[in-house]
Structure 1
């Protein structure tokens, strides 16, 4: 709270009077991250086109958004939340996945309805796609460093991963 108060140029007393607890302050910051950075991206509607093109568009937007500095700050907050507010951590993790998974499910649903794809379990396919196209490359960029954070490297990775997903969706 000392660091936050100093950065905000207010006293700790002001922070506590405004937010009550550290947990409430963290909850508000997390809510701000969702409102400003996650929800706008998951509200996108990919342009018309083939399944692979729509997946590439959505995955590119989600991956780039997940690599923004604000989202990296959210990662640090989640470490604190995990140690101090475990019930909030579960809610946050669920919310972080719901929007992107729903976006991929919507893309798959359109393709299934048009006959472009065959998928028996849209929810599983959408969750798997989120993991393959957003979580995995993000972790490779941020944690292991074996994927460049360049537009070309991300696009190459996404195109290759989408190629595998399309093979499964058309089987």
Structure 2
């Protein structure tokens, strides 16, 4: 049974409760001491389970790490799905989803997870793929849905919405998130950060609409004096 199938079982199921306990212990250990220093022996000892019970649920430590990432994604990201399903101007939807991504990824556990992967992906390259497959794909899906709806309404495009979503996330989220992970900024979404986010979204949408940046606002500029 896959990790995702294990997590989808009813909490009333004794086997599911045991899976939850293993993931709870692993989450604490991974975020506390890192991936490499967390051994399966320590996990099963602290969870009070046998290795047989562990391997009946997870094929490896990497598989367990995937379970931790899925758990965090399932807990934090449903609100983004709601934003993507809401109605309103595309600019407002993109602002809401980007601000929510920054809020989620600025949480201490998300920062710790990012730092673990950054520090250990050289030795354990599978960690990067796990993070992309089970966490980043949720954010990508939400942005793609918003852009698909905007294309259908004729607000932007037509365009390759998957490529556009990747570009959007790089332009609006990746930079600020990196500064937080490096400890150069705190995780508060301040008014200044929101204004910078809005400027990035306007620039992105100008490109998505095929509008030269600033052309829509040219009438606001005072006439030049000769």
Query: TM-score interval w.r.t. the shorter chain?
Result: 0.7 to 0.9
Alignment of 1:50-129 (within 5 A): 50-79=89-118, 81-129=120-168
Q: Please list the CA deviations of residues 61-109 of structure 1 after superposition, one character each: whole Å capped at 9, or x if unmatched.
A: 1111010011012123324652443224323223332111111111111
Q: Which has the higher contact order (CA 8 A, sep 6+)?
A: 1
The alpha-carbon deviation at position 44 of structure 1 amounts to 2.5
The alpha-carbon deviation at position 36 of structure 1 amounts to 1.7
Distance in 1 of aligned mates of 2:204 and 2:138: 20
TM-score of the two chains, using structure 2 as the length reference:
0.61
Asked if the contact 1:112–1:118 (Cα under 8 Å) also holds between the matched residues in 2, the reply is yes
Q: What residue number does 1:43 align with?
A: 81
Q: What residue number does 2:45 align with?
A: 14
Asked if the contact 1:104–1:126 (Cα under 8 Å) also holds between the matched residues in 2, the reply is yes
Distance in 1 of aligned mates of 2:113 and 2:94: 25
Q: Which runs of 4+ in 1 moved over 6 A?
A: none
| Distance change (3 Å), C-alpha of 1:89 and 1:156 | same
Give aligned pairs, total.
165
Larger-Rg structure: 2
RMSD over aligned Cα atoms: 3.0
Asked if the contact 1:26–1:77 (Cα under 8 Å) also holds between the matched residues in 2, the reply is no
Asked if the contact 2:180–2:187 (Cα under 8 Å) also holds between the matched residues in 1, the reply is yes
Gaps of 5+ in 2: 1-25, 33-40, 211-226
